[in-house]
Amino acid sequence: MRTVGVEEELLLVDPETGEPRALAAAVLARASLADPGQDVFEKELYGQMLEFATQPQSVMADLGEELVRCRKEAARLAGELGSTVAALATSPLPVSPTVSVSRRYQWMAEEYGISTREQLVCGCHVHVAVDSDEEGVAVLDRLRPWLPVLVALSANSPFWQGNDTGYASYRSRVWMRWPSAGPTELFRSPERYHELVSDMVATGVILDEGMVYFDARLARSYPTVEIRVSDVCLRAETAVLVATLARALVETAAREWRAGKEPVDHGVSLIRLAAWRAARSGLDGDLLDPVTLRPRPARDVVGALLAHVKDALADTGDLAAVQEGVERLLRHGNGADEQRRLLERTDSLRDVVTECVRHTQA
């Protein structure tokens, strides 16, 4: 059974006002004091963000428990500094982000200008184990048309600088401002993948391989495929659902490759449109069908994803839980839907943030 690890980025916010607070360095210092060898929490681009990474897990219930534990520990550490954390992919309230002290981050701020200053966004990255670069690249080629569906399921960023954006996942639109971000063409081989990455670094537009921000890529430090399209999810159970579907997509793609089934050769321009549609609509209205790239109701497209990965989910014992989780999400909505309902009820973005703080640790 393939192992799965998750990286989540959280917003550090004031528990009373809901405003983001640049306390990441202080939180990390406290984490290191408590556990000098800790490698769970990490610095991110902005001082208002805190990242953590789970251990690889085979059982999704164990992954869920670790996600909740890490979120609660992040809240505890932040609480010692009069702050807390919220699993929000963008800040609903206006904020002027503070770039973290780092030569790398300062280079990004100088090189990319306003694009860097407008990147206070929090994502969820899922790492799924693969046996080799050859298998990993074959998986990447076959994942491409299905990734926008994960955007729709995870969408949790409707607000930006105090305004409703009209998008379910505005984070994904902001992220696309990086020069290396987005979907990729078919690679066909590990050699072609690594050649392209080397050529991108050689342009000088990006600093190193770590700035290759493909929607899905081979991880630099682990034998995994890293799927990077999802918003950080408001509820941990949604993050587990996304991670479970990601593992099933990887396993399904690997089986197709071993069976000699060729990847669908959709053009990058069309996949970008599918990603935009998912970011705009979320689970409301239409998405683009991953096979035909024509509009279909979101429920039908999510159903197509479940049908696509059904055998892989059944083999890991996750099918019933995923079916139940997907139906619950389609019935009650994703994080963006919850945030908008909260605003409608409270008429206060501050109250939206403080209520989301509670959901983050549930």
Angstrom distance (rounded) from CA 96 to CA 79? 22
Burial class from Cβ neighbours inside 10 Å (0-12, 13-18, 19+) for residue 113 reads: exposed
> What is the domain extent for residue 220?
4-360
Q: Which residues of the chain have pLDDT under 50?
A: none
Q: How many domains does the chain have?
A: 1
CATH code where residue 281 lies: 3.30.590.20
Evaluate if pTM is beyond 0.85: yes
At residue 35, the pLDDT reads 79
At residue 164, the pLDDT reads 98
Task: Give, for 91, the enclosing helix (H) or strand (E).
Answer: none
How many percent of the chain have pLDDT more than 70?
A: 100
At residue 36, the pLDDT reads 74
Answer yes or no: are the C-beta atoms of 209 and 217 closer than 8 Å.
no
Q: How much is the mean pLDDT over the chain?
A: 97
At residue 10, the pLDDT reads 98
Angstrom distance (rounded) from CA 166 to CA 96? 22
Would you state the torsion angle of the CA atoms of residues 276, 277, 278, 283, taken in this order, to the nearest 10 degrees?
A: 160
At residue 221, the pLDDT reads 87
